[in-house]
Amino acid sequence: MDLKLGGIDIGVAVLYVVAFAIIGVLANRKVKTARDFVSAGQNLTLPVVVGTTIATCLGASILFSNYQRIHAFGIDGLVWALAWYVGWLLMLPIAKRLRASGATSLPTFLEKRYNGRTRTISSVFVLVSAISTCASFFLAFGTMAQTLGICDMKTGTIVGAVVIVIFTVVSGLWGVALTDSLQTIIIAIGCCILVPYYVFKTAGGVEPVMESVSENVLGFGQGLPTMLLIGYVMSNLLAAAAEPSFAQRIFASKDSRTAVIGQSLSCGISAVICIIAVLPAFAIPVLYPDMTDGAQFITNVVADYFPAGLKGLMVSVIMGLLLTSGDSYLMLVSSSVVDDFVRPRKPDMEEKKLLRIGRVVIIIAAVVMVLLALYIKVIYNLFALGASAYAAAVFVPLYLGCYWKKANTRAINAAMLCGGGVSLIWDLFLVNGTGIRGVMIGTALSLVICVVGSLLAKKPETECIEAKQDEQ
């Protein structure tokens, strides 16, 4: 495919890149300590919280993994995607409890509720989830580059990783949050107006598209085997209900009111944008009947049907989507290592040294992510792998810890190891032969161990953390 970017397109793309660079440099001035780098000094205002959360949520999933899912599995793929927002709603009631704990991340919250070992175990699964998720964004970058004829997928994946790493290392969470806020506005315009307009205009309208879609694609439960669909839905739902990047925004908000309202608005707006943005995927059989990978759809549409100027803008938007999602999860990896592994063991370490460690961690993690992306090569499988393991490990301990006083630390720790470990091993080696996702087995096992182990214990070591009123 020949992208054929004209002078106007190149100018728009350059302005876009320059804007991101300026924001990154300005944000760098705010980064004085490791705390500033990984949590923005816990001073994010409501507009910034909403902007960064939406951009992180939508990111590459909306144009790559969701298109890939819907093209491959029809309505089942859409249900799988929307399960994320149902799960997100479950996090809203516990937002005040998270803030009231005085924690800075989900692992530190679990430490306050249980013990340091709980923190360590949960941090491991946060890293697993963040690494696999960010790897899917790197792979999406490579997919875009290959589809546009810029370079092959391997080179595009590596180049995308380098760009995202440089921005993240320089700007920290301040830069991530500010660029995300800018990106959210452009995402809404590009994905909810421009893409649907040009897709359905070219396809001849909504009616021809729906007529061309087979009953097999439209029918619920017909795109995927039932058990596999349930597993994918559970993976998205449970992972979103304990999503560490959402929690990171809750902890980084300036107060509990900002955190709760910010997450509520972000969830609602993101769901609307997602539904509108993915509808054009049903036009793939009309516009590109021979297409085998739905992840290539958006870049084909931009290259083939967008006029000068808008073509450059949309290419920039796509790259920005990958940047804003990738940098968020790189920050999550950095904050997890610094706050959950280094700081507890080296409480007297200077903030500047912690800051350097946080930046080095990002570089090392990116190398691992690139290797993982090049090995698995399917965007939605990369995302589901880490999300399933994390959900199976953390969901039950988190919510039982918030609402059940009898939850016992030893039982919780055993449940996290068994649930998350079984889910990860199952999805890596056994899922293809059974059609059952590891999250189903892992979460069930985690629940049984938590409940039975806690009931057999004499008493819980700690109490539930109660929600407090807004801190003003």
| Beta partners for residue 253, in sequence order | 44
Angle between helices 297-305 and 310-337 (to 10 degrees): 150
Regarding predicted confidence, which is higher, 292 or 217?
292
Q: Is 44 helix (H, G, I), strand (E, B) or coil?
A: strand
Mean pLDDT of 237-246: 86
Give the CA radius of gyration of the chain: 22
How many Å apart are CA 47 and CA 50, to the nearest integer? 5
For residue 466, pLDDT over 90 is answered with no
List pLDDT tens digits, range 77-87. 888 888 888 99
Q: Which helix (H) or strand (E) segment is 248 a member of?
A: helix 244-252
Q: How much is the pLDDT for 332? A: 79
Q: How much is the pLDDT for 110? A: 92
How many Å apart are CA 434 and CA 431, to the nearest integer? 5
Picking from 1, 312, 9, 305, the residue whose alpha carbon sits closest to that of residue 147 is 1
- Residue 145, CA distances (Å) to 47, 125, 303 in order: 32, 31, 12
Mean pLDDT of 365-387: 77
Mean pLDDT of 190-194: 82
Average confidence score pLDDT of the chain: 80
For residue 5, pLDDT over 80 is answered with no
Q: What is the pTM of this model?
A: 0.78
Most confident of 12-26, 131-145, 251-265, 284-298: 251-265
Angle between helices 116-147 and 379-403 (to 10 degrees): 150
For residue 118, pLDDT over 80 is answered with yes
Structure confidence at residue 255 as a pLDDT band (50, 70, 90): confident
For residue 436, pLDDT over 90 is answered with no
Q: Does domain 7-384 have CATH number 3.30.465.10?
A: no
List pLDDT tens digits, range 15-68. 777 776 777 666 666 656 555 555 555 667 888 888 878 877 776 566 677 787
Structure confidence at residue 219 as a pLDDT band (50, 70, 90): low
List pLDDT tens digits, range 348-360. 888 778 888 888 9
Q: How much is the pLDDT for 216? A: 44
Q: What percent of the chain has pLDDT over 70?
A: 83
Domain boundaries defined on the chain: 7-384
Structure confidence at residue 7 as a pLDDT band (50, 70, 90): confident
Q: How much is the pLDDT for 460? A: 64
How many Å apart are CA 164 and CA 65, to the nearest integer? 19
Contact assessment for residue 333 and residue 313, using Cβ atoms and an 8 Å cutoff = no
Provide the 10 A C-beta neighbour count for residue 201.
Answer: 10
Which residues does 142 contact at the CB level (< 8 Å), separation at least 6?
Answer: 152, 153, 154, 155, 156, 157, 158, 160, 373
Contact assessment for residue 57 and residue 270, using Cβ atoms and an 8 Å cutoff = yes
